Chains A and B, each alone.
Chain A
C-alpha cells in the first residue's frame, strides 16, 4: 500500500512537468512577435522596437531555454527586476478581465467552489439513487422510464438545457435569475458591515446573520445545479444500474435471500455497498471536474467562476489568461486523480495488492 502511494507521488512531478510542457508547447505555436503582443500593453508598430523586445525577453531562444524562463522567470538586464516565472506566481496580466491573473483566480475561484459544493449531493446522490431504482425494477416499466429519462438528459447539450431552464424560470416566471447575486444583495456584500470570512457567499451570509442574502444566493444557484445534475445523471444511472445488477447476481446475495433476509435488507445491506465501488471513483472525477470550472454552464448563467472567465478569455483570444486557467484546472485535476486512486486502493483490496 505504502509502495503504491509512494509510486503515485513520485509520478506526480513527472506529470506536472509534462502538463507545463504541453501548455508552453501550445504557446509556442505563436511567433515571437505574436507573443510580444500578448504580453505588452501597447503593441509596437515599429519593427525595431518589436525586435528589441523579442531580444530582451529572449523569445528567439531555444525552446527549452524559453521554457525554463517561463517557469522560473528571468532577471531583466536593465531594471534588475524579475519578469515572468509561473513558479513565482507571476502569471501575467489578464486583458479580458483587466486585472492580474492571480487576482482574477482569487476572485473567481470561490464562486466555482461554491457551485461545486452545492452540486455534489443532487448530482451524485440522485443519479445513484436512480440507478438503484432502475436495477431493482430490472426490465419493467420503471426501469425503462428511468433509462429513457437518463438518455434524454445525456443527450441534452448543457447550453441548450440551461437556456431552456432560463427561458422557463427566468424569462417567463422570473423565479430563478442568472448571475450569482441580485443587485441589491451585491451592494450589501461589497459594502461595509459585511465581512467576508470564506468568500463563499452563502456561508458568509449565514455567518453575518443575513438570511435574506443566503436565500438570494441559493436562488441563483438552483438553475446551474439543476443543469449540471440533469446532464450527468445518465452516467451515474448507467454505472450504478449495471454494477447493482451484477452484485445482485452474486452468490452472497443468493445466500442472503436463501436464509430469509428481507428483500429491503438484501438490497441495502448486501448488494448496494459492493455496487458502490465504481461510484466512488466516478464521484472523485466528477467533483474534480466541477472544481475545475464548468465552462459552459457558468457562461450561460453568467456565473462568475473560473470556467466563465476562461470562456471569456478564449473568445477574446486572451491566450495568457486562458493558459493560466488551464494550468490551474490541470493541477486541480491532477491532485484529485491522485486522491481518487489512493481512496480506491483503500476500498478495493484487488488494486492494493496488484
Chain B
C-alpha cells in the first residue's frame, strides 16, 4: 500500500513540472502583448509619458474576526483600520451589553489607508459597473447622456472627465465605505492634501504612484514629472530628496494637472520594471523556482499580490460550486436510483430523456432563459440580472444565509443541472450493474423488501464508484462555472481569470491557472488512492 502511494506521489512531480512549463510556454506571448498594449495606450493619449502605476486599490473584503479573551470592539476596530460604528452596523446581532464572549465571530470590513491608493485612477473597480456609470454621469453634469434601450450612453464626440479629482464622499461611495471611516483612519490628510483638514467634500487630487527603478532619487523623479521638489517632499514625507532609492519604492506624484514627464517610456523600461527583461531561460528557471516556493509575482495591472487576488476571489467561487454540487447531487442520486429501479419502463425513458437533454443544453443558455422565466420584472436597469455584490444587498450574502441562497440559486441550478444529468446516468448504470450481482439476488430471495435491498445491499456498493466519478465531475464543474460567474457578475476566480486574460495580466493568470491545475491533480490523486484503498486488485496490478 505504502509503495503504491509513494509511486503515485512521485509520478505527480514530473506532471507538475510539465504543468508549470506548459503554463510558461502558453503565456510567453502575453507579456509582450501587455507591453505593446501599454505602449499603444500611451501613444493614444498623445503624450510620451513616463509610466505611472496604480499601486493597489481599495477593495473591501469581508473577513471574520474570532474574538479572543480580552478583546474589545475598539481593539478589533483599530487592528482592522475600521470604526466601532461600522463593526456594529455589520454585526447587528452582536450582544454588546457585557464583555465579548471569546469565540464569537465578528464580521469585519477593514478600511484601507488612503495613502495606499491612487485616487482618480481607481474609479472603475472591475465589479463596479453600475456604480461606475452613475459616477461618470455625476462627474459630468454638462454632458448629455441620452438613454438607449434603457442604458445611458455618451454621444460620440463628447468629452468626459474621468480622471478628475474626487471628493472624499465620492471616494467613499466608489469604495463602498463611509466617508467617516476614511476620515477615521486618515486623520492627517492624504498625499495630495498634506495639510490635513479632510472633510466629506474635500477635493482629493489624483495622485499617480510611480515605482522607482534602482538608484532613482526623488529629485530625478520631480524633474522627470515637472514637479517642484517641495511638492514632492511634502507628498513623500521621510524620503531624502537626494538619496538613491531601491527599486520598487512607491513614490507619490501629485498630478492635479496633466502629467507630461520628460523621460520617455520605452519597451525596455516597462520590461525591466515588470521583471520580464531577462533571457527566456533565466525567466523560466526563475518562474519554476518561484512557483515551487509558492511565491507569485505581483499583478502587472495593480501591483497587488497575485496570491491575495486569488484568495480574495476563492470564497465566491466556492459558494457557487458547492451550491451547484449540492444541486447536482440532489438531482442525480434520487433520479438515478428511480431510473434504475424502473429500468426500461416509461418513467426510466422519461428520466433518461431529460438527462440527455440536460447534457446537451449549455448551462449559460439555461441560465439566460431562467432569468427570463424566474425574474421577469427583477432585472436591473442595465438589463443584466446580476448578483448585486456592489450594493448593501451584497453584504447580506455573507450575513444572511437565505439572502445568499436566493442570489446564487439561478447560477447554481443552471450549473448543477448538466453535472447532475451526467451523474444521474452514472448512478443509474452503476446501480444496474450492482443489481445484477449474486449477493443482490440472494437478498431478494431472502424475501427482503425492495427498499432494504436497494438501500442496504445495492446502493452502498454502487455509490463507491459514483463517488469516484464525482471527483472528476467536481473538476469539470469548477471549470464550467467560470462562464456562469461571468454571466452573473460573481467576482470569483472565473470572472477574474477572464478579466485578467483580457488585460494580459500575466502573473495573476499564471497563479490562477496553476491553482486550477493543482486542484485537478490533487483530485485525481485522491481518486487514484481511494480506488486502491477500496479495491486491492488495483494496488497489486
A binds B: no
Which residues of A come within 8 Å of B, CB atoms?
none
Which residues of B come within 8 Å of A, CB atoms?
none
